[in-house]
């Protein structure tokens, strides 16, 4: 019998398919062939490597739970991942500017394989190690890839801003397409073979099947990148010089208002997203009730992100900052619904639909912020500054997980962060408008 989950999933799929068709890559005589080749080469590698992250992402909490760990212990393991991303990932991923973005991506593949292998061992310390390596790998995934694409587009090829914006839009559309597909496939994987003990604390099967599939993706993706990608650098003076680059990056963010406000938007939005990821499950899964279809819910989330990415592509003639400002405002209002409506079973449809609106805004956010960062961040320190943007985000997530407030308070916090991010971006828009007005006044005086 259809449920509101399946009906919503079907409607979301239909909407996603229509928008995907409308925003599909179209043959354009004015599009350089070099751009098409670069986009194809990039998207293939991105799809394979990001599939590793999406395959295992929805099942990490469930795997720890199946090993017998409580929600509090789960939170500690998640804190280890975000803490590692903050303490180590910020520096390690920043080395991509000097060691090369291609090498950094290969490092991501290696670290992620290590992280997935540790999931087979039901030992808290081993799982902590996996969270640490996974946290560093995540920093590399969401910085080195983007840095490589931005560098190839702006430095090696000097593509116009419109093509760069389109490239980021397609990057995140493919991201959500892969996520939605892996969400549906992963349910079948975990049900194919039941989990069993091999020797001591080592297990195979069940939830671990998706982690094994992620390992395969990392190996295949790493080989593809190693054989087909060119290397590019930022500050290429060596690994030791990266410490100087890191110090310079901190100074640039602290003294450049545009970079500082961009950092604030990234930290507030992306921390709210990760806090949401940890907390949406208990909102829709109530004690004593049968679990909802997690795979279907996750796929619907990802299809909503694809809808947002398609909307961004359709809004290419609008100012990117305005599109992002609207997305932040709508996302903040959507999160006010579960924060004030409540978490009862009767409210599940409304909370679920609010979550979908938030996910649509996520789909709008990432290509928009990618475009803004590509324009605002200097090439020589791109990976370093990208990861410095993530540092306060990780601090916020770690703090919230450690405090572990009630669900109502948590979602009020999420809504507040999103609305404050909108205010910061609004400040950037006002500052930009004032600057443009001041620049136009001398011209108007001359014309008179």
> Lowest-confidence range among 46-50, 70-74, 366-370?
70-74
**CA dist., res. 284 & res. 297, Å (int):** 10
pLDDT at 128 over 90: yes
438, two tokens: 């001041």
Q: Indicate if the pLDDT at residue 97 is higher than 50.
A: yes
Global pTM value: 0.74
pLDDT(62) > 90:
no
Instruction: Check residues 170 and 134 and name the one with the higher pLDDT.
Output: 134
- Nearest in space to 331 (alpha carbons), one of 314, 348, 349, 355: 355
The pLDDT tens digits for 233-260 are: 765 555 566 567 677 778 888 888 888 8
- Give strand ranges (E) for 151-279: 196-199, 202-204
For residues 28 and 262, which has the higher predicted lDDT (pLDDT)?
Answer: 262
Of the pLDDT bands very low, low, confident and very high (cuts 50, 70, 90), residue 283 is: confident
Which pLDDT score is estimated for 259? 85
Q: What is the mean pLDDT of residues 121-128?
A: 94
- Does residue 86 contact residue 391 with C-beta atoms inside 8 Å? yes
Question: Cα dist. 418→333, 336, 408 in Å?
Answer: 9, 10, 16
CB 364 within 8 A of CB 269: no
Beta strand 196-199 with 202-204: parallel, antiparallel or unpaired?
antiparallel
What is the per-residue pLDDT for 392?
87
Of residues 371 and 88, which shows the higher confidence score? 371
Report the helix count and the strand count for the chain, using DSSP H and E. 18, 2
- Is 8 inside any structural domain? no
Q: Is the pLDDT of residue 448 over 60?
A: no
Q: Compute and round to an integer the Cα radius of gyration of the chain.
A: 22
Q: What is the mean pLDDT of residues 404-430?
A: 91
The verdict on residue 10 lying in a domain is no
- Closest C-alpha to 366, from 56, 142, 105: 142
| 214 found inside a domain | yes
The answer to whether 370 touches 172, Cβ cutoff 8 Å, is yes
Task: Check residues 156 and 381 and name the one with the higher pLDDT.
Answer: 156
* Cβ atoms of 164 and 374 closer than 8 Å: yes
16 belongs to a structural domain: no
Which are the contacts of 331, defined by CB distance < 8 A and separation ≥ 6?
269, 272, 357, 358, 361, 362, 365, 418
Is it the case that residue 368 has pLDDT exceeding 50?
Answer: yes
CA distance 292 to 373: 38
Q: How far apart are CA 123 and CA 127, in angstroms?
A: 6
CB 107 within 8 A of CB 88: no
For residue 15, being part of any structural domain is answered with no
Residue 27 has pLDDT above 60, yes or no: no
What was the pLDDT predicted at 93?
Answer: 52
Q: What is the mean pLDDT of residues 292-305?
A: 84
Provide the percentage of residues in the chain whose pLDDT is more than 90.
30
Domain count, the chain: 1
Residue matched to tokens 């295949």: 220
Using the Cα atoms of residue 246, residue 247, residue 252 and residue 254 in order, give the sign of their dihedral.
positive
Q: Please count the residues of the chain.
A: 448
Average pLDDT, the chain: 84
Burial 83-114 (b: 16+ CB within 10 A, else e): bbbbbebbbbbbbbbbbbbbbbbbbbbebbbb
Query: What CATH number did the domain enclosing 432 receive?
Result: 1.20.1250.20
Confidence of residue 29 (pLDDT cuts 50, 70, 90): low
Question: 236 in helix, strand or coil?
Answer: coil
91 has pLDDT over 80: no
The verdict on residue 446 lying in a domain is: no
Question: At 271, is the secondary structure helix, strand, or coil?
Answer: helix
Identify the band that residue 219 occupies on the pLDDT scale cut at 50, 70 and 90: very high
φ, ψ of residue 160 to 5 degrees: the values are: -65, 160
> Does the residue 139 lie in any domain?
yes
Q: Would the pLDDT of 225 be above 90?
A: yes
Q: Is residue 274, in this structure, part of any structural domain at all?
A: yes
Residue 74's domain spans which residues? 33-436
- Beta-carbon contacts of 385 under 8 Å, excluding residues fewer than 6 positions away, are 249, 252, 253, 259, 377, 378
Location of structure tokens 């004593």: 288
pLDDT, position 241: 60
Contact between 274 and 82 (Cβ < 8 Å): yes
> Among 238, 230, 253, 243, which Cα is nearest to 378's?
253
Separation between Cα atoms, residue 418 and residue 2, nearest integer Å: 34
- 3-class DSSP state of 198: strand
* pLDDT tens-digit series, residues 352-365: 999 999 999 999 99
Report pLDDT for 443: 46
């Amino acid at each position: 019998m259809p449920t509101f989950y399946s009906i919503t999933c079907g409607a979301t799929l239909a909407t996603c398919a229509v928008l995907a068709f409308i925003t599909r890559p179209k043959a354009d005589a004015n599009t350089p062939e070099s751009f098409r080749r670069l986009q194809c080469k990039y998207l293939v590698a991105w799809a394979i490597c990001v599939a590793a992250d999406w395959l295992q992402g929805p099942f990490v909490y469930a795997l720890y739970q199946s090993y017998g760990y409580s929600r509090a212990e789960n939170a500690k393991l998640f804190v280890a991942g975000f803490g590692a991303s903050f303490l180590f990932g910020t520096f390690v991923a920043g080395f991509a500017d000097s060691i090369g973005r291609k090498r950094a991506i290969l490092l991501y593949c290696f670290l992620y394989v290590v992280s997935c292998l540790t999931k087979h061992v039901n030992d808290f310390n081993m799982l902590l190690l996996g969270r640490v390596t996974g946290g560093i790998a995540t920093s590399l995934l969401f910085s080195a890839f983007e840095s490589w694409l931005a560098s190839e587009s702006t430095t090696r090829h000097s593509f116009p801003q419109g093509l760069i914006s389109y490239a980021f839009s397609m990057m995140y559309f493919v991201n959500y397409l892969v996520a939605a597909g892996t969400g549906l496939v992963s349910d079948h994987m975990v049900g194919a073979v039941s989990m069993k003990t091999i020797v001591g604390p080592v297990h195979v099967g069940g939830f671990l099947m998706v982690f094994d599939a992620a390992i395969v993706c990392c190996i295949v993706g790493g080989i593809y990148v190693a054989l087909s990608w060119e290397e590019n650098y930022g500050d290429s003076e060596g690994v030791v010089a990266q410490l100087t680059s890191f110090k310079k990056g901190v100074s640039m963010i602290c003294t450049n208002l545009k970079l500082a406000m961009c950092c604030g938007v990234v930290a507030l939005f992306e921390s709210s997203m990760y806090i949401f990821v940890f907390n949406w499950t208990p909102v829709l899964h109530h004690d004593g009730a049968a679990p909802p279809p997690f795979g279907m819910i996750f796929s619907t989330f990802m299809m909503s992100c694809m809808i947002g990415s398609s909307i961004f592509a359709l809004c290419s003639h609008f100012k990117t900052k305005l599109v992002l400002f609207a997305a932040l405002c709508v996302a903040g209002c959507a999160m006010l619904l579960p924060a004030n409506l409540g978490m009862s079973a009767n409210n599940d449809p409304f909370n679920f639909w609010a979550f979908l609106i938030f996910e649509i805004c996520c789909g709008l956010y990432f290509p928009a912020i990618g475009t803004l960062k590509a324009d605002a961040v200097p090439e020589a320190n791109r990976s370093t500054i990208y990861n410095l943007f993530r540092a306060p985000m990780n601090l916020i997530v770690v703090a919230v997980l450690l405090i572990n407030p009630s669900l109502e308070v948590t979602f009020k916090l999420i809504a507040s962060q999103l609305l404050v991010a909108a205010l910061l971006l609004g400040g950037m828009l006002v500052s930009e408008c004032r600057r443009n007005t001041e620049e136009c006044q001398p011209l108007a005086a001359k014309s008179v």
